[in-house]
Amino acid sequence: MGKFNNPTQIILVSSRYKNKDNIMAVTWWTKISFQPNLYLISIGKSRFSRYLIKKSKCFVINFMPYKSKEKILFCGTRSGKNIDKFKESHLHKLEGEKINCPVIKESLAFLECKLKKSIETGDHTLFIGEVVNAKFKKSGKRAFQLSKKKFTTTK
């Protein structure tokens, strides 16, 4: 069924709890409300980012350029539990302006989200975040995932 769902714009979700920052690649996400401005991300129950978001009650949606596809793939294929994905992927962090969560410097745009609700569904948790800060930083071709290791972009 994946072939029918792709391409999907892939985002990087950054999170923080205490002194641990992480990044994960997410393709299951969507806007769900204009007022209030809400976004939903779906994260597997075994993922380290799920733990960080549940504890910190915040996350950042980072829209990444196509040229970052190798870094996106790196962040989507390794756990951040025992490595620093910012350091290992050569992505740089900026401090969030409204929440205590890192923003990816290389992103085209980002949404800082405060957790409004989490819903346990099968093997994933749905996190609903209210956007408390949004920034469009620069234009560029966005990354879309075709399959696990294949990416495309817009023209």
Map residue 150 onto helix, strand or coil: strand
Question: What pLDDT score does 147 carry?
Answer: 79
Q: For residues 55 and 119, what is the distance between their CA atoms, to the nearest angstrom? A: 15
CATH assignment at residue 34: 2.30.110.10
Helix (H, G, I), strand (E, B) or coil at 5: helix
pLDDT band for position 4 (cuts 50, 70, 90): low
Indicate the residue type of 119.
Answer: I
Cα 119 from Cα 77, distance rounded (Å): 24
What is the Cα–Cα distance from 48 to 154, expressed in whole angstroms? 31
Tens-digit pLDDT profile for residues 67-118: 999 999 999 999 999 999 999 999 999 999 999 999 999 999 999 999 999 9
Q: What is the pLDDT of residue 149?
A: 76
| Tokens 């962090």, residue located | 93
Which position has the higher pLDDT, 9 or 105? 105
Position 144 scores a pLDDT of 79
Identify whether the C-beta of residue 5 lies closer than 8 Å to the C-beta of residue 41: no
Task: Please tell me the predicted confidence (pLDDT) of residue 124.
Answer: 98
Determine how many CB atoms are found less than 10 A away from the CB of residue 123: 9
Chain centroid to Cα 75, Å, comes to: 10
Domain that holds residue 25: 2-152
Entry pTM: 0.93
What is the domain count for the chain?
A: 1
Strands, E, within the chain: which ranges?
A: 8-9, 11-17, 20-26, 29-33, 38-44, 58-63, 93-95, 102-104, 109-121, 124-136, 144-147, 150-152
Q: What is d(CA 35, CA 100) in angstroms, rounded to the nearest whole number?
A: 23
Q: Which pair of structure tokens corresponds to residue 87?
A: 């350091």
